[in-house]
Amino acid sequence: MDYYLKPLKELIKFKTISTDSDYKEEIEKCVNWYQNLFEDNGFVVEIVRGYSNPIILAKYDNNSEQTALIYGHYDVQPAGNEKDWDSIPFELSERDNRLYARGIIDNKGQSFVHIATVLNLIKNEQLGQNVTFLLEGGEEIGSPGVANFLTDYKEKLSADYIVISDGTMIEDYPVLEVGLRGIMNLTVKVFTSDRELHSGLFGGAAPNASHELVNVLSKLYDDNKLVNMNGFYTGVEEPTEQELENNKTIPYSFEEFHKLSGTKKNISEDGVDFYTQTGLRPTVQITGIESGYNGEGYKSGIPNAAIVKLNIRLVASQDPIKVKESIVQFFSNNLAEYADFEIVHSDDEGSVPAVKIDTDNEYVQKAITILEEVYQKKVLRKYVGGTIPLVYHIEKILSIPQVIVPLVNPDSNMHSVNENYDLSYLKKALEFSNNLFKK
């Protein structure tokens, strides 16, 4: 495992936080580190700029028949409160059979499984394919520019298939990701006046923006737990018999749900299992509300404005533009006529539709065979609730088979404190990658 751990120790140290522009220099250092690593091992490297943070393209031509494109992202989430970590977030630490560090699974350490493997195979003259690594630095901010990059670099990215390892497994079952929900975000502001008012002078007589917003939001879902917006479900593909059957084979228990979520109830639509609800049904989530005074003590004011942030997870074949129209109509229909609203921000360019992955090809079949050999368990096919924007764009622009295989433990604390990689999972991941790319 040394060939993996030694360079990883260096890689982890770069604070490649893409959500904060203060870390641009760290990102440059990391890109430079990668460039040296690849060039030292005989790769032709191109650092592509002008599409968000630099993209690393590293090619190794082995005169093989097949070419694999391998994706990863080197940017990470902020560490959060360092005091809540049991070790320093940007230093690799090993304890209790786990590696700890920010980025150890999302995604530096996870994508490094394939990088270390390929470098090791080259060293031992055992690499069986041509390889192109595509490493981006803006995944955690929604991969802006990635669609343009894929379009502009289509030829240089030509490959027989792509391998993506980002995300987590289910228990200790090997997982093949066969679909991803889409995403869009928007911010709506409701206002009742051009000024904040005194609650003593006007309370009970003047409209209150907080009240008006909460009133609208209380109607977001109907009694059947469906999103209560005209047109929201237009185009939504009902899960097929086959998909429903598939999802029933994935182990689920309320105890595990409770353990992972910390919540007291699974509030899925009636009769809809957890994996179908989160993988194949759309949702609107309120992700933030802001209004009035929330500082120390109290203020006797009537807020004139209230803001809500909404995060929508889309399914195939929902159109983000139509969904946005539904949201506008929802506010028009439900907001009192004496209040106004506007969409103050929407990530029209960052929104990504859902995607389903074709598995009927030799590349996916080979990966399944190797996974079942390595893990000695049947592969679970998972419709994932989250979004990897690149996957949608690969499907539309490169149109090559995609092998999406997460290789880390489910309790890895992705995006949270004490992000970790269970070493027993790591060993199997290295074995899988080795068998996938070797001669």
Shortest reach from residue 389's CB to Zn ion, in Å: 12
Shortest reach from residue 406's CB to Zn ion, in Å: 12
Shortest reach from residue 384's CB to Zn ion, in Å: 13
Closer to Zn ion by CB, 43 or 425: give it: 425
Cα separation, 12 vs 113, in Å, equals 13
Cα separation, 91 vs 353, in Å, equals 36
Query: What token pair was written down for 256?
Result: 């595990």
Shortest reach from residue 95's CB to Zn ion, in Å: 23
End-to-end CA distance of the chain: 20
In Å, what is the CA distance from 249 to each residue of 82, 221, 270, 350?
39, 29, 19, 34
Beta carbons within 10 angstroms of residue 276's beta carbon: 20
Shortest reach from residue 206's CB to Zn ion, in Å: 44
Closer to Zn ion by CB, 106 or 243: give it: 106
Q: Per-residue x/- mask for Zn ion, residues 82 to 111, rule CB under 5 A?
A: ------------------------x-----
Instruction: Please tell me whether residue 75 binds Zn ion under the rule CB under 5 A.
Output: no
Please name every residue paired with 341 in a beta bridge, in sequence order, or none if there are none. 190
How far out from the chain centre does Cα 108 lie?
Answer: 14
SS3 state of residue 164: strand
Closer to Zn ion by CB, 106 or 177: give it: 106
Restricted to residues 272-291, the positions that interact with Zn ion (CB under 5 A) are none
Shortest reach from residue 76's CB to Zn ion, in Å: 7
Shortest reach from residue 236's CB to Zn ion, in Å: 26
Cα separation, 137 vs 50, in Å, equals 12
Closer to Zn ion by CB, 185 or 334: give it: 185
CA atoms within 13 A on the CB side of 235: 16
Shortest reach from residue 379's CB to Zn ion, in Å: 23
Residue nearest to Zn ion (CB): 106
Cα separation, 404 vs 356, in Å, equals 11
Closer to Zn ion by CB, 17 or 374: give it: 17
Residue with tokens 């506008």: 328
Cα separation, 356 vs 396, in Å, equals 11
Closer to Zn ion by CB, 19 or 124: give it: 19
Closer to Zn ion by CB, 106 or 136: give it: 106
How many residues sit in the footprint of Zn ion (CB under 5 A)?
Answer: 1
Shortest reach from residue 415's CB to Zn ion, in Å: 6
Judge contact between 331 and 216, C-beta under 8 A.
Answer: yes
User: Please, which residues have CB within 8 angstroms of residue 89's CB and are 6 or more apart in sequence?
Assistant: 79, 82, 101, 102, 417, 419
Shortest reach from residue 106's CB to Zn ion, in Å: 4
Query: What token pair was written down for 270?
Result: 């009636």
Residue with tokens 């106004």: 340
Closer to Zn ion by CB, 85 or 331: give it: 85
Closer to Zn ion by CB, 209 or 414: give it: 414
Restricted to residues 33-52, the positions that interact with Zn ion (CB under 5 A) are none
Picking from 165, 179, 102, 175, the residue whose alpha carbon sits closest to that of residue 134 is 165
Judge contact between 425 and 419, C-beta under 8 A.
Answer: no
Picking from 31, 42, 131, 45, the residue whose alpha carbon sits closest to that of residue 75 is 31
Closer to Zn ion by CB, 106 or 422: give it: 106
Closer to Zn ion by CB, 56 or 388: give it: 388
Q: Which long-range contacts (CB under 8 A, 24 or more apart) does 123-126 make?
A: 123/3, 123/41, 126/438, 126/439
Shortest reach from residue 239's CB to Zn ion, in Å: 26
Cα separation, 104 vs 411, in Å, equals 13
Residues found near Zn ion in the complex (CB under 5 A)? 106
